[in-house]
Amino acid sequence: MVAFLELLGLMDHHRVLEIGTGTGWTGGLLAQRLGDQNVTSVEIDPMVASIASENLKKAGHRPRLIVADGADGWPSGAPYDRVHVTCGVRDVPYAWVRQLRPGGRMVFPWMPGFAYGHRTWLTATADGRAIGRFAGNAGYMMLRSQRFGDYAPTVEEEGEQSETQVDPRAVAGTSYGCDVAIAGMVPGVASVEEEAGDGRIRLHLRDPDGSWLSPTFSPAVMLTRCPRLERGVCGRKWKPPICAGSPGAVQAVNVSE
């Protein structure tokens, strides 16, 4: 939380949109720093929002609290100087970019579903783009509209079976940049690593349509093989990366209208 707030680079005059009020803790910190009138926080769960409101009142703060789907932002209060996202996203809702001033900054946990998540910051440009960089690892609860119903298949027999000598942990736990490259080549593919219960390690890959892709087996390990990874292409239509250019720039974050 502190790392993300530091990435915001707040100044006294900034107006902030927070996606995901939660307990109200970060909203309270933002209100303490900028004043209640400069903080708008959106929470999708009415009960959670009610608890956050009480917590903030006890702390002496009354920022604007909105019960709505954070994926839509809050256009009535736009434009904002900063957008602070407290949940993980695979695809960045374009509403967040649209509601930022040119030069405004957005920080969020980018969690494409393959291996690690990343602390990410983007700066809005005057032509409607957002460009930025990664700033370290992050693991957060996903934005509700981007969650999967199940995080692993319930039936081992799903998919085609073949053998592999590659330990799934070598795939899921490889270099920091490898997961970004894989997420860019096959956007929407998610991975789940788990113990198989018999000494084997299992790595499942999920297609963007929600189906689980072919489990493969060996005496030592079991992993899920994605045909699209083998071809190095993805047939799914998707918007181009929002960021590109210099080394370290975000190359694979998708923006969805």
pTM for the model stands at: 0.71
**Residue 91 pLDDT:** 81
**Residue 175 pLDDT:** 60
**Alpha helices in 82-132, H assignment, sequence order:** 94-98
Q: Strands 130-138, 117-124: parallel, antiparallel or unpaired by DSSP?
A: antiparallel
**Residue 1 pLDDT:** 86
pLDDT mean values, one per 10 residues, the chain (257 residues): 92 96 95 96 95 96 95 94 92 92 94 76 92 84 69 51 62 66 68 60 61 41 39 36 34 44
Note if the bond before 247 is cis, omega within 30 degrees.
no
**Residue 181 pLDDT:** 74
Cβ density class 48-69: b for 16+ within 10 Å, e for less? bbebbbebbeeeebebbbbeeb
**Residue 183 pLDDT:** 72
Rounding to the nearest 10 degrees, give the CA dihedral for residues 134, 66, 75, 237: 50
**Residue 88 pLDDT:** 87
